[in-house]
Amino acid sequence: MLFHHIFVSDVKPGDHLYRWRNFKLLQGIAVQRNDDRSKMFVVMSHGLNIIRLVTLREFKGRGILRRALYDQGDSNLHSIKLSGTSFIEKKIPAEEIVQNALLLLDTVISNPEYVQQMFAHGFGDFARLCCTISHEQWRNRLQRNGKKT
């Protein structure tokens, strides 16, 4: 699959989604709150310093929705993909990805200074991290400052 295009109806919680907007890559993690299957949201990075929750429709906008690929190994296709759309790493289970994204969002709200410190170079890589770090490691990393979120 070269272009990773998906339909909104195919999005599942834990998907690492991306789209292009004005030649910039927007990335996010699909989540649901309170097990409401009718509403899908995306925890997304907006610019270098902002993480926010938006509806799937808002994230998609008028663009084409795409799903990032993981566990691509040494495939020839992986080597020609754009950075942020295809990864060698193995993806963790979807439930943990959702937990990671929501914990990051909650920590941004409760302790923004710590998250800014943790992501000193911006949030461009947050979606890959949510998809590849176990929830226990992620929780420990976000709570390293001694405060519970």
Q: What is the pLDDT of residue 1?
A: 43
pTM of the model: 0.82
User: What is the distance between the alpha carbons of residues 43 and 102, in angstroms, rounded to a whole number?
Assistant: 7
Instruction: Tell me the C-alpha distance between 93 and 145, whole Å.
Output: 26
Q: Cβ atoms within 10 A of the Cβ of 92, count?
A: 20
Per-residue pLDDT of the chain (149 residues; tens, 9 = 90+): 445 688 889 999 999 998 877 777 788 999 987 766 668 999 998 766 688 899 999 999 888 888 887 776 666 554 545 555 656 678 899 999 999 999 999 988 888 888 888 777 777 788 888 999 999 998 988 876 545 44
**Neighbouring residues of 24: CB distance < 8 A, sequence distance ≥ 6:** none
HSE value, Cβ hemisphere, 13 Å, CA-based, for 65: 20
Domains delineated in the chain: 8-142 (3.90.1720)
